[in-house]
Amino acid sequence: MSISSVSISASARANLTALSNTASLLQTTQARLSTGKAVNSAVDNATAYFASQGFLNRAGQLSDVKNTLATSLQTVSSTTTSISDVTQVVNQLTGIVTQALGTTDTVTRSGLASQFNSLLTQLDQLVNDATFNGTNLLNSTSTTLVVYFNETNTTALTITGVNVTSAGLGVIAATNSFADQVAIQKSQSLLLTALSTLRTDAANFGGNATLIQTRQDFTSNLITSLQTASDNLVLADTNQEGANLQALQAQNQLGIVSLGISGQLAQAILKLF
């Protein structure tokens, strides 16, 4: 039977239309409550949907930047820690030289010179082992670490490596088994200069670490702001949608009752014949 062959009263047809509209609104409201979003696709609101996606896409890109910053920060922090370790070795070397200056016994000085040279070798090994994530910023001034601060790589910090090996610090092995007082004093002077260099290097790397941490915090805050902006465009007011659901359910019940009344009226008219 075709639709056109069925005769429905005007009131019944109006009630059916109202029920259909109410059912559609109920479906929309239930979807908003289940997802927590008022805009779930471009069909709901194309402008808000694509603007929200734009915010989320940038937040995702910045999340990758944040992860890279975390790795770079660990690299610089590891370098700073290694400089501290190198400083401790240089302090030990200074202690050995001080002991050598405090005695004139050639045998004692020879033993101290041997300790000095052995410790100097350990210093170089420590520096060459100070590699983090494939980067060693302590054994060559030609090594650089480029830290990018945004998703387009248009802002960055370039950190140049230093050379704190014994050669880089200008500290030479003990000459003539420390038998010469002047040679010992020269070693002492070189070690004092080395300590000054290490303090400067540590301060520079510490400053870079602070800057990277600041940019990491900035990026985290920006990601949060972008996510909030996205939510403001698409999230539903659950209190309002809950109230709408109750109202639509009541409206749906009333529509069913109205449709029943329309049918009863039609039957009453038929009984007259």
At what angle are helices 106-128 and 46-101 packed, to 10 degrees? 170
Domains of the chain: 46-233 (1.20.1330.10)
DSSP for residue 160: E
Q: Render pLDDT for 141-193 as a digit per residue (tens, 0 to 9).
A: 999 999 999 999 999 999 999 999 999 999 999 988 999 899 899 999 999 99
- What pLDDT is attached to residue 132? 93
Average pLDDT over residues 52-64: 94
- What pLDDT is attached to residue 265? 47
> Model pTM?
0.76
* Cα separation, 246 vs 270, whole angstroms: 37
- Confidence grade of residue 49 (pLDDT, cut at 50, 70, 90): confident
**Which of 24-33, 36-45, 231-240 has the least mean pLDDT?**
24-33
* Cα separation, 65 vs 202, whole angstroms: 25
DSSP-assigned states of every residue in 89-117: HHHHHHHHHHHHHT---HHHHHHHHHHHH
